[in-house]
Homo-oligomer: A and B are copies of this chain.
Amino acid sequence: MLSEELPNPPAPQGSYVPAVVHGALVMTAGMTPRVDGALRHRGQVGADVSVEEAQEAAAIAAGNALAAAVAALGPDREVERVLRLSVYVNAVAGFTEHSRVADGASGRLRALLGEAAGACRVAVGVASLPGGACVELELTCSWAPREGR
Contact = CB atoms under 8 A, between A and B. Distances in A.
Interface in A63-85: 81, 83-85
A14 to B, nearest CB: 4
How many of these chains are in the complex? 3
A28 to B, nearest CB: 6
A129 B30 CA distance: 19
Do most interface residues of chain A lie in helix, strand or loop, or is the interface mixed?
Answer: mixed
Q: Interface centre among A86, A110, A120, A126, by most B CB within 10 Å?
A: A120
Contacts of A44: 93
A120 B17 contact: yes
Interface of A: 13-20, 22-24, 27-30, 44, 81, 83-86, 88-100, 102-103, 106-107, 110, 118-132, 136, 138, 140, 142
